Amino acid sequence: MIRWTYRISWLLAGLLMAGCNFFGTAPAEGGGANNETLSAQITAIGATATIESERMMVTIEAAETAMRRAEQESTRIASTLMALGTPDVSVVEITPIVPTPQINPPGGSGPAFPTRAIVPTSAGARANITLAPPTPELVQLETAEPTPPAANAGAASSILSNLTMSPAVGADDCPVNARNAFTSADESIYISALARGLNTNNQVSTRWYREGTEVISYDWSPDSFIQEACIWFFISPQDVAFTPGNWRVELYIDGGLVGQALTFTISE
């Protein structure tokens, strides 16, 4: 385009010179040849300008054609995406992500902390807030006393042993006059056991049966740790009728049967 402008300028200069020669004195010898040369140059410049103009028109038409093709291709892609179920998202609904710059803490040492950009949703100015490094906080953990593990079925016999039936217990809680035959006139019937390492979180239970039918049961947990001491359970006529027949009692710790059930009889 600049080259074409230069050539038009030369054409105008030539026309001015020709006018001066027309109204001035007669040309000197050889002036006719110069005029012919200038006319030839003017003709060449006009032809060149025409060619450049045609080339520009062709270029503009090609650009417009490319733009129409791009629009058609964009329409085809959008139609394909909609057919596949892709939602149509408008460009104006896309919120640009503000880049997060990194700054160093005061002193120029240590890790860099990000700067959070606050972008107001309504009219207003943007502002940056520097996130201060977190201050470590010393947390004092409470230490609780370890809870002794509950006994399982396999360890039941190691905690409770020496199961014994008796009509009474002594001052040491151990059985007195051990036996397995009782009468309906007895005031109580005891089952005792020797405890080794019985904890407050252990649950000890007894189940009492007459002729294979459970008639009563008890659950108990100690108030303190028991080591090498007797424990006991008992039944009385006030709790259950001492009906003559075949009886048995089972001792459990934390759901595990201790040894085997103890059988006993009650007679008239």
DSSP type of residue 92: G
Write the pLDDT tens digit of every residue in 13-57: 555 555 444 444 444 444 556 667 777 777 776 666 677 667 777
Confidence band for 113, pLDDT divided at 50, 70 and 90 = very low
End-to-end CA distance of the chain: 135
User: What would the DSSP string read from start to end of 97-141?
Assistant: PPP--EEPPTTS-S--EEEEEE--SSSS--EEEEPPPPPP----P
Residues 6 or more apart whose Cβ sits within 8 Å of residue 159: 151, 195, 196, 197, 198, 202, 253
Sign of CA dihedral 247, 253, 254, 255: negative
Write the pLDDT tens digit of every residue in 67-108: 888 777 777 776 766 777 666 555 555 555 555 545 455 555
Alpha carbon distance 136, 105 (integer Å): 16
Alpha carbon distance 229, 239 (integer Å): 26
Rg (CA), the chain: 56
Which of 228, 250, 219, 224 has its CA nearest to residue 172? 228
Alpha carbon distance 211, 265 (integer Å): 10
Residue ranges covered by each domain of the chain: 2-22+32-83, 156-267
CA dist 1 → 5, 6, 8, 56, 218 (Å)? 6, 9, 11, 9, 111
Place of tokens 């593990």: 149
Write the pLDDT tens digit of every residue in 150-208: 445 456 668 999 999 999 999 999 999 999 999 999 999 999 999 999 999 999 999 99
Which of 206, 225, 227, 229 has its CA nearest to residue 216? 206
What pLDDT is recorded for position 198?
95
CA dist 56 → 47, 52, 62, 99 (Å)? 14, 6, 10, 43
CA dist 30 → 16, 24, 40, 156 (Å)? 19, 16, 16, 139
Q: What pairing do the DSSP bridges indicate for beta strands 160-166 and 127-130?
A: unpaired
Q: Which fold has domain 156-267?
A: Immunoglobulin-like (2.60.40)
Joined together, the tokens standing for residue 181 give 């035959």
